[in-house]
Amino acid sequence: MNSLGIDIGGTSVKLAQIEDGHTVWTGQSPFYARPTTSQLIDAIRAGAKGRVTSVDVAGLCVPGLYDRARRMITLWVTVPGLMDIVLDDLVARALGPGIKELKIINDAVATATDVIRARRLAGRVVSIALGTGVGMGVLDDGVPLFIEGASPGHIGQVDCSIEGEPVIGPDGGAGSLEGYLGVPALIKRYGSMDEFFARVTVEDAPIRALIRAIRICHAIYRPQHVLIVGGVGTRLSTLISAMKRAVDTNLTSVARKDWTLSAGDSDFHAALGAAYLATRT
């Protein structure tokens, strides 16, 4: 069986095709900002580069609030062109009729699934996806935990207020993690993403907010493993050891003592995870 994973993110579309569990190709569109529906369709085509002809099943992973009955995203402020359009129609307009079946998959779950499979992680995993926005997946031995809709909760909207560094998130929430660590917030604070990655330390407010969010996750979910993934998260690997020490300092006693913290290592985790899950859901 061959399957396609399509990851529509806040700044680009990434795709990956697998066959019998092996990666055949990966592709990425040019970057965009607040794309319209037509621009999204063009981005999907650009990432595919004409390589999609006949696919047994595809997994489409998208963030935002998903209406399962209508197969629509009803709220995603950073990619307005994805809202209120039937996702099946979007993919068909971009790639034609060659996809026999389309499954909608939570993006954070897809990302975590690929990392879990590659690293053979067991137990409860919390995966925090940092990109244009902030998302989260919680999986128990690979099985997603859902609390609200297709989500374990909205970690991007959790109040992680840092004293002296007030923010308002894109959803209007005071102190939200997304208000500190979403790409628009980072560009506003540092001038560019290159400057952020060059200058950021664990003393900076965005990382302190992330540390606070991880501590909150320990109290709620008690994970064995915490993953920092997404386009921003995978590039924070140099801070992982210092972040782990900061999280562990006076951490609640309900947290597991032998937990691990690590960063993703690929921009295609979500697309690969979606392709894999599409064959099994």
* Residues 49, 148 within the same domain: no
Computed over every residue of the chain, the mean pLDDT equals: 93
Question: Helix, strand or coil for residue 86?
Answer: coil
**Which pLDDT score, from 0 to 100, does residue 66 have?**
82
pLDDT in tens, 39-69: 999 999 999 999 998 899 999 998 777 888 8
Domain span at residue 199?
Answer: 121-263
> HSE of 35 in the Cβ direction (CA atoms, 13 Å)?
20
Structural domain total, the chain: 2
* Residues 99, 129 within the same domain: no
Nearest 5°: phi and psi at 181?
-120, 0
Q: How many CB atoms lie within 10 A of CB 185?
A: 24
Q: Where are the beta strands (DSSP E) in 9-148?
A: 13-19, 22-28, 57-62, 65-67, 72-75, 102-106, 124-130, 134-140, 143-144
Domain assignment present for 113 = no
Instruction: Give the residue from 117, 140, 133, 241 showing the smallest Cα distance to 184.
Output: 133
**Which pLDDT score, from 0 to 100, does residue 14 have?**
97
For 262, counting Cβ atoms within 10 Å of its Cβ (0-12 exposed, 13-18 middle, 19+ buried), the class is middle
**Which pLDDT score, from 0 to 100, does residue 24 have?**
95
* Residues 75, 209 within the same domain: no
Domain assignment present for 175 = yes
**What's the rounded mean pLDDT across residues 70-91?**
88
* Residues 28, 90 within the same domain: yes
- Pairwise CA distance, residues 73 & 36, whole Å: 14
Domain assignment present for 115 = no
pLDDT in tens, 226-262: 999 999 999 999 999 999 999 999 999 999 999 999 9
Tokens, residue 67:
């209406």
**Which pLDDT score, from 0 to 100, does residue 241 have?**
98
* Residues 102, 27 within the same domain: yes
Domain assignment present for 116 = no
* Residues 104, 133 within the same domain: no
The fraction of the chain above a pLDDT of 90, given in percent, is 79
The fraction of the chain above a pLDDT of 70, given in percent, is 100
* Residues 258, 126 within the same domain: yes
Statement: residue 280 has pLDDT above 90: no
Whichever domain contains 185, its CATH number is 3.30.420.40
* Residues 10, 75 within the same domain: yes
Partners of residue 8 on adjacent β-strands: 13
pLDDT in tens, 187-204: 999 999 999 999 999 999
Statement: residue 76 has pLDDT above 90: no
**Which pLDDT score, from 0 to 100, does residue 281 have?**
64
